[in-house]
Structure 1
């Protein structure tokens, strides 16, 4: 018995499974950061060093698998094309930093919304506070990440202006 449902533009990033997925959880990897949102100052310094030395392709793939997404969903917010990322084993500092920004945002979102699916639905739903744009549409810049993080914090504290 199959039922047809309307396909949403972000269908690949939202899954029906409400449990948190499992993936490689190497310390200081993007996946680790999603799971351990609050890190110590020493860990923050280690993450900065990790960004400088570069995220590996395997860490990126593990992270994408962990958040149950398709890397193509991030093509507009990554500083490199997906095809050029496929050719590299270790990403440059700019790409690595964006991956960690994504990981940090997803970690905060999972914590505040209590499930990956609720967060992902929020991320792709128009927000009045953001000028009727989707929060995801702001993730192509660091300032945009800050704006979205601030909105998640407002949700966390029920602070709607």
Structure 2
């Protein structure tokens, strides 16, 4: 048992070259912990990059590693078509950027970080990424009976969805 604890401690103290590397590593481990109702919720990957408005602004302007977009697809359950509709870029382009170690531009980085934050809140309310993804496809009264998914293609739309989630969280359905 002590050997298992030592291995776990060693795994948790792994060093990362960048914050994006750490976030990417967390993304692979993420869904398992959120999808199982009996486990504790873990922090969303990339959380430090959007934890407050200044971190979000700084991270967006620096640009995310393109792999962040692929991590978002894995966590969110978005199909490639949904991703392409929402972020106005192709998955093939993201793969090319990843292979060439290119950063995403500021606007796309901001939308992806805000989408991570949105999914963090949605998972907390709905219990899983799958349940939240399903909710995104259903017209919401508080959003003028629009599907939340249809609003995710702009930062303003993501903000409106966040506000709707806060209303749902506090039981304000009108």
After TM superposition, the score normalised by the length of structure 1 is 0.68
The residue aligned with 1:48 is 57
The residue aligned with 1:18 is 35
Structure 1 or 2: larger helix share? 2
- Contact 1:37-1:107 within 8 A present in 2 as well: no
The residue aligned with 1:31 is 45
In structure 2, do the counterparts of structure 1 residues 45 and 31 end up closer, same or farther at CA, with 3 Å as the change threshold? Answer: same
The residue aligned with 1:111 is 124
The 1-side partners of 2:147 and 2:49 are apart by: 23
* Residues matched between the structures, number: 133
The residue aligned with 2:94 is 85
The 2-side partners of 1:107 and 1:45 are apart by: 19
Structure 1 runs (4+) greater than 6 angstroms displaced? none
The residue aligned with 1:129 is 142
CA RMSD in angstroms, aligned pairs only: 2.9
Q: Which has the larger radius of gyration?
A: 2
After TM superposition, the score normalised by the length of structure 2 is 0.64
